A = this chain, B = another copy of it.
Amino acid sequence: MRPRKRGPANKKATLVDVAERANVSAITVSRVINQPDKVSEELRLRVQQAIDALGYIPNQSASSLASARSGVIGVSIPSLSNVVFNDVLSGIYDVAGASGYKVLLVDTHYSPLEEERMVRTLLSQSPEAMIITGGEQTDACQRMLKNARVPVVQMMELLSEPLDMNVGFSHHQAGYAMAEQIIAAGYQRVGFVGARMDKRVQQRLAGFRQALEERNLFDTALVATTPKPSSIGLGGEMFRSLMASTQGAVDAVFCCNDDLALGALFESQRMNIKVPEELGLCGFNDFEASTFVNPSLTSVYTPRYDMGVQAATMIVNVLKGEPQSEKIVDIGFEVRLRQSTRRTAN
C-alpha cells in the first residue's frame, strides 16, 4: 500500500488533497476557509464540496506555525474542584468561545511550582494571551510570562503590582466589610474559621482582623485555620472544635467561604445552637444554597462569572487591537445580609 490514495478511507486529508480534488491551488482552499469573501462563488462551492467529501479538518498546528496565531488562550486556575472557579471559567469560556478562541486550561493545585510548570506548558502552545490566578507566581514564572510578550490578565484579586492586566476585588476590604456588618448586627465575640488559607483567604482574615481590632474586639483564640481544602464536612468539624476550645464564648462566626459556613450551620443545628439568636453565622462567595438554606446565610457575593467575562473581554479586546479602556478592573463585591446574622427579629 505504497501509493497514498486521497480520501477519508486513508490518511487524514490535507489542504493539498482538497485542492487537488477541487482543481484549485492550496491557497484557494485556505482562503475558502479563512476569508471566504475573497473567493468567487463558483470556486468556493467547488472547494466546499471537496472539503465535505474528504471530511477535511484543518491542521491547527500547521496553521499556528505558519501564521503565528494559535487562537488559544491559556488559563491557569489553582483548583478544578473548587466551585468558585467554575463560575469564572464559564465566563471565560463564553466570551472566548464567542470570539473564536480556544481555551487551554490547567490546574495548579495551589502550588506555585506546579503553576510554573503548567505555565511553561501553556506557553509552549503559543497562546495568544494568558489568564492566570492571583499574583503568587514564582519569579521564574513571572519572567516567562513577561518574556512571552502576550497579554496577561491576573484575576481573582486586586494586585499592587500586576504583571499586565488585572481584574478582581479586594479580599481585605471584603473581610473588613463583613466583619463590620457582623458587629453592626450586635455580635461582639466574633470567631473566624478558615481553610486552605491561600493569599486571598489570608487577606479576608486580615480585613476581618483589622475591623475587630479597631473596636478592640479581636481575639486570636477565636481564630481557627487550617491548610486543608474547604468542605462542608470540614466546616462542621472546625466549628464544633472552635466552640469546644472557646467553651462557647463566641457569639458569631465568620467562615472564609460558604462551604465552611454551611457546614457550621448544619453542625450548629445538630448541636441545638440557635442561629442567629445564640450565634451569628456568615460565609463568603454567596453560593446558591446560602439563599435557600434555613436560616438563610449571610455571605459576601463575589461576581465570579462577571470576573471571567471581564478577564476574557479584556484579552479579546487587546487581541482585536481595540483601544484599551482599563488595565485594572475592580469587579467589586457585595455583603448580603440574611437571616443567619439577624439577631433582632425582622
Binding site for B on A (CB under 8 A): 8, 12, 55, 57-62, 64-65, 70, 80-81, 83, 86-87, 89-90, 93, 97, 102-107, 120-121, 123-126, 143-144, 147-149, 231-233, 236, 259, 262-263, 266-267, 269-270, 288-289, 291-294
Contact = CB atoms under 8 A, between A and B. Distances in A.
B233 A288 contact: yes
Contacts of A124: 57-60
A149 B10 CA distance: 10
A149 B259 CA distance: 43
Contacts of A103: 105
Contacts of A289: 232, 262, 289
Contact of A266 (B61, B65, B292): B292
Contact of A125 (B61, B83, B90): B61
A81 B90 CA distance: 6
Contacts of A269: 294
A8 B65 CA distance: 20
Contacts of A294: 266, 269-270
Contacts of A236: 292
Given A83-B83, A97-B107, A102-B121, 20 more contacts: A8-B147, A12-B149, A59-B65, A60-B61, A61-B61, A61-B62, A61-B64, A61-B65, A61-B70, A80-B90, A80-B93, A81-B87, A83-B86, A90-B107, A103-B105, A233-B288, A233-B292, A262-B289, A262-B292, A289-B289
Contacts of A64: 61
A137 to B, nearest CB: 15
Nearest to A103: B105
A289 B89 CA distance: 23
